[in-house]
Amino acid sequence: MRMIRPILYIRSGMNSLFARLIAGFLFIVLLLTSLTLYAVSVSNRNVKQEVVKYNTSLLDHTRDSYEKHLNLIKQQMLLFFTSDEIMRLQQQPDNVDYPVIIREIAKWTTVPYLYINNIVFYSKKDDLVLEKGTSTNAESMFNVFSASEEYPLAFWKAQFGGTEAIRIYPAAAMVNHIFRDSPQPLGELMPMIIEGVNNPDFYMIVLLDAAKMYEAFHQNLYKDFLIYDAHGKPMFSRTGREPFLAFGDLGDLGQNGSGIRDGKYYFANSGEATGFSYVSRVPADRIAEQTRINLTLLAIILAAIALSVFFSFLIASRINNPLKKVIESIRRMNDDPPYRSTINEFNFISGRIHDNRMLFRQFSFINHLKAIRSHEPDTPKLEFADRPFVFVLYHIQPDKGELYSSEVVQNWLYYLRTFIESKLKPAFPDSLTFQIERDQILSLVFTEEPKDVIAQLDEMSQVFDQDSEHGVVTMAVTSAYSASDRLTAAYEEAQRLAGERLMTGRTQLILERGSAPAAFGFSPDQDKALEANMKAGNAVQLAVLVQQHVAKWHRDVPTAASLVRFAEAFAGKIRSAVTPFPLGSEETDVLLGNTGERIGRCRTVKELEELLVEWVTKTAEAVREKKEEKHPITTQVVDYIHAHLAEEIYLDVLAAKLKMSSGYLSSYFKGKTGMNIVDYINETRIAKAAGLLNDDRLKIRDAAEAVGYRNITSFNRMFKKYMGVTPSEYRKREDKN
């Protein structure tokens, strides 16, 4: 028995949390120490081999990425080259297809993972060049838009009738000289030429962004890298000042394609599809440094082991006793109030458990309130079939000066909820009050007489009025309901009543819904006056128009919800009147700011009037400043587009009328307005169509034809691109508003 007793004591001791923690920590320390020492011993022998293998793998990945990408470009561009539009362009160029082809080119160049800077179609017979920006001639394209010393105009003219259908040339720097005083570098572009089988006088040029391809495909820490073609010509390079290994010396690197030359470690590999040779270079001394294990590292490992053992005992001792007491205390905690003790850790956990329990109950109530079905098995049941109740919904609108201080607003809302509970609890002990939305507090009051609740709310409203510098409170009281299954109906009634609040800047008590407000929006004549004065930049007339209209609201006061909808629609009218010309959408966004937030900050009709006047005044002044800018060419283009909106509009025809090249006109217009001519035409057409769709008597097809769209499918697609919805969805939404 005496011999067994020590064994039982040790066994009992091992079952303690402290012993388990110490054993676990020491086991982890021992395991990590063993693994560290083994890793150090193995790495001392094999690091160099692994580093070489790693760099070889990186180069293999680089090669595969280049080969796959170039093969992908060839396949995709061959499909594009054999499309119907390009085949018609080869046989008989027709400027009707120019916009279609240019848009297709633009789509290809905007795909980020293809790294295509531009696609150029060059026809020798017609001296015609099509690229992503415009149609032009070869001299303008290769001497202005994409000029390069390595690839002059003579080079491109000599490419017709080449020996290979698809060929790739070395990357070279290209520059756009459209602005002579400030040429724009296009980067290092690698040309790929694809010739037609049946038309030797026509070929495609795909300009690949070599720098972006290098950044995407070459992931090595050391940036020395070079690509040779099958004949030893450098296709692309990123090398330092020291000379790189010549193409003829690549064969001396050995079978694995790696070796040391002149103190540098070279890695080389070839692609099967292109025949390119990919070569990277790493300083040999850097690889040697990674194989040295010094005494400092060994000392650090031993110190880490000693500290790990020390902290294992320290942490285990600090966890054992408090955690044991916390667990025992939690086991005895059965009452709703949180159990308190002298242990801070347990007080924290106990408080959190109590808070989570209360939060769970609140979530359960909100689920019942909003008719949200819950699958939680422990969801509390809300059954009070024989207890009539009413809802009191408090809608809070913080002062606009404090709206940006969320902490101040949340503190005020907490104060309001506490104050409401202190007033309702004495008279209605079972009442529940909690915040259900960012700006709403809800009280559930069990009573058969709503008038008793109303009397209490009248007293509270006096306090709310004294606290008006923080914000405005609106109280909506529902009719009496009989059971818990009517919670959702009561909540919906409370929301409807809260929507009847007015912009008075004072506390309101709403008991019933008012009569439906008369129409108070702009009349068609006022809409026309708004648009005309906005386009003319007449700030004074616009301010008078707003003030005269707002004056009517003092006789027939609309609800706050109606005024908010009017203000949102008014902001939309301003946007449609001035965008896309003379103001861009970004300029208008800056002038109007965050419309929804600013409207929500208005507590009175006067504040809303000041906001509307501010909008029209600032926007009109911006329009006037734009109109005072002298851009006769842009004005002529805009006037022509608006006069021929229902017709086919071609860039070449428009450029000819202005006696300039289409490329220069396109660049000039974009420089002055910030958008392409084609985008401006489409945006103007869609904006005009949106205005026409407000007339229910006009068919959608007629509206499309009125702005130049003969194909209803194209109209629907373009409308959704700019408006976010289809024409039919837009009309339904406007009818609903």
Mind listing the pLDDT tens digit for each residue in 236-265? Answer: 988 777 788 787 777 777 667 777 777 788
How many other C-beta atoms are found inside a 10 Å radius of the C-beta of residue 268?
Answer: 25
Beta strand 508-510 with 471-477 is parallel
Q: Which of 330-344, 464-478, 498-512 has the lowest mean pLDDT?
A: 330-344
Domain match, 133 and 242 both: yes
Q: Which residue has the higher pLDDT, 725 or 24?
A: 725
Instruction: Give the confidence band of 402 by pLDDT, cuts at 50, 70, 90.
Output: very low
Write the Ramachandran bin of 616: left for phi over 0, alpha for psi from -120 to 50, otherwise beta: alpha
In a domain? residue 354: no
pLDDT band at 334 (very low <50, low <70, confident <90, very high): very low
Burial of 658 (0-12, 13-18, 19+ CB in 10 A): middle
- Least Cα distance to 201 among 138, 151, 149, 140 occurs for 138
C-alpha 533 chain-centroid distance: 35
Distances from the Cα of 329 to the Cα of 18, 337, 355, angstroms = 19, 14, 17
In a domain, 371, yes or no: no
Mean pLDDT is lowest, of 185-189, 398-402, 420-424, 593-597, for 398-402
Q: How far apart are alpha carbons 476 and 141 in whole angstroms?
A: 70
Domain of 611, in residue numbers: 524-623
Assigned domain for 502 exists: yes
Q: What average pLDDT does range 103-126 have in this prediction?
A: 89
Q: Looking at 623, 645, 661, which one is the last position of a domain?
A: 623
Task: Judge if 101 and 235 occupy the same domain.
Answer: yes
Pick from 113, 119, 237: which is nearest to 173 by CA? 237
Single-letter amino acid code for the residue at 239: T
d(CA 732, CA 737): 9
* Same domain? 460 vs 568: no
pLDDT of residue 497: 83
Query: Do 619 and 680 sit in the same domain of this protein?
Result: no
Query: Is residue 339 included in any domain, yes or no?
Result: no
Tell me if 312 sits within 8 A of 31, measured CB to CB.
Answer: no
Residues 108, 195 within the same domain: yes
- pLDDT at position 377, please? 46
Q: Which of 545, 548, 474, 559 is nearest to 508 (CA)?
A: 474
Per-residue pLDDT at 294 exceeds 90: no
CATH, residue 216 = 3.30.450.20
The least confident of 382-396, 513-527, 577-591, 659-673 is 513-527
State residue 402 phi and psi, 5-degree precision. -105, 0
Q: Are residues 500 and 636 in the same domain?
A: no
Last residue of a domain, one of 478, 510, 542: 510
Structure tokens at 79: 């499909």
Which of 2, 105, 16 is CA-nearest to residue 323?
A: 16
Q: What is the average pLDDT score of the chain?
A: 78
Do 558 and 652 fall within a single domain? no
| pLDDT over threshold 80, residue 384 | no
For residues 90 and 185, membership in a common domain is answered with yes
In a domain? residue 516: no
Report the pLDDT value the prediction gives residue 515, as an integer from 0 to 100: 61
246 φ, ψ to 5°?
A: -70, 160
Q: Are strands 234-238 and 225-228 parallel, antiparallel or unpaired?
A: antiparallel
Cβ atoms 101, 85 nearer than 8 A = yes
CA 3 to the chain's CA centroid? 73
Q: Please indicate, yes or no, if residue 440 is contained in any of the structural domains.
A: yes
DSSP secondary structure, 528-585, as one string = HHHHHHHHHT-HHHHHHHHHHHHHGGGTSPPPHHHHHHHHHHHHHHHHHHHTTTTS-H
pLDDT at 195 over 80: yes
Q: Tell me, what's the pLDDT at 555?
A: 67
Say how many domains are in the chain.
Answer: 4
Comparing 490 with 329, the larger pLDDT belongs to 490
Is residue 28 included in any domain, yes or no?
A: no
**207 falls in which pLDDT band (50, 70, 90)?**
very high
Q: Which of 163-172, 288-297, 381-390, 439-448 has the lowest mean pLDDT?
A: 288-297
For residues 674 and 599, state if they share a domain: no
* pLDDT recorded at residue 330: 47
What's the pLDDT at 152?
92
Average the pLDDT over 184-199 and give the result: 87
Query: Residue 681's domain is classified under what CATH number?
Result: 1.10.10.60
Q: What tokens does 514 get? A: 């008012």
pLDDT at 457: 84
Quick one: what percent of the chain has pLDDT higher than 70? 78
706 assigned to some structural domain: yes
pLDDT the model gives residue 193: 92
Tell me how far apart the 2 most distant CA atoms of the chain are, in Å.
Answer: 116
Note the pLDDT tens digit of each residue in 517-553.
555 678 777 877 787 777 767 888 888 888 888 887 7
Per-residue pLDDT at 470: 74
- 454 and 578 together in one domain: no
Domain boundary among 282, 317, 344: 282
142 with 238, same domain? yes
pLDDT of residue 416: 83
Residues 538 and 607 in one domain: yes
pTM exceeds cut of 0.85: no
Burial of 296 (0-12, 13-18, 19+ CB in 10 A): exposed
- Ranking 240-254, 320-334, 529-543, 583-597 by mean pLDDT, the lowest is 320-334
Query: Which tens digit of pLDDT belongs to each residue from 617-640?
Result: 888 888 877 766 657 788 788 888
